[in-house]
Amino acid sequence: MTEHVVEQPPTIVVPTTTDLFLGFFKIAISGFGGVLAWARRIIVQERKWMTADEFNELFALCQFLPGPNIVNFSLIYGARIRGPAGAAAAVLGLMGPPTVLMIVLGSLYSRYGALPQSRGALTGLAAAAAGLLISTAVSMAEPLPRKGIGNLLIAAVAFIAVGVLQWPLLGVLAVLVPLSIARAWRRA
């Protein structure tokens, strides 16, 4: 196997179909509480499949396409490197094993979830999960004010409509997304 050395020190490795499966499998099982951080660590630092810039660019693209973004990422990257087989290997590595695990956890929940001990543990777990989600929301919101108060306003309207008033998502998006894109278009 020949390795092409790019201008910069990091050497980019082109994964095989098996590598793709195993790499995305590792990302999936390492990724407690979301997989983005692990995807970056494994793909860029450990396996050197992409440079940090390539990773950021592809991920930014996946983030505003519809659907689960890390699944989009694995599909697009797998296809780009090894065609349909590569896409299948990457998606199956990412989704297959965790899906099986979820089914096992789900059956345990159905069977034992109502026991007093599990109810207590689940209440504590859910309370912690809420804290984790608040932290995600705050980290995402922090850069917003720098790009104008209007962005913060749009985020607040989405938050109130969907979170507080619990309006249907489709209607809220149908109004807010065109409005927000139009604002960004005028400023672009």
Partner 1 sequence: MKDGTGTLLTLALQFSLLSFLAIGGAITALPEMHRQAVDVYHWMTSTQFTQLVAIAQAAPGPNVLIVTLIGQQVAGIPGALVATVCMCGPACAVAFQTVRAFHHFKESRWAVAIRAGLIPVSVGLVGATALIVARSADQGWGALLITAATFAITHWTRISPLWALGAGSLIGLVGLL
Residues between 93 and 132 with contacts to partner 1, criterion CB under 8 A: 94-95, 97-99, 101-103, 105-107, 109-110, 113, 117, 119-132
Least separation in angstroms between residue 10's CB and partner 1 is 23
- Decide: 93 and 15 in contact? Cβ < 8 Å: no
**C-alpha pair distances (Å), 46 with each of 43, 61, 174:** 6, 22, 41
Which CB, 11 or 105, lies closer to partner 1? 105
Site membership for partner 1, residue 155 (CB under 8 A): yes
Size of the site for partner 1 (CB under 8 A): 91
Q: How far apart are CA 52 and CA 185, in angstroms?
A: 28
Does residue 141 touch partner 1 according to CB under 8 A? yes
Place of tokens 């008033």: 165
* Shorter beta-carbon distance to partner 1: residue 6 or 126: 126
84 lies in the binding site for partner 1 (CB under 8 A): no
Check binding of 149 to partner 1 (CB under 8 A). Answer: no
d(CA 87, CA 149): 41
For partner 1, the binding residues in 165-184 under the rule CB under 8 A are 166, 168-170, 173, 176-177, 180-184
Nearer to partner 1, 10 or 113 (CB): 113
Give Cα 127 to chain centroid, integer Å.
22
Q: Write the CB contacts of 44 (distance below 8 Å, at least 6 apart in sequence).
A: 50, 51, 52, 55
**52 touches partner 1 (CB under 8 A):** no
By residue count, the chain amounts to 188
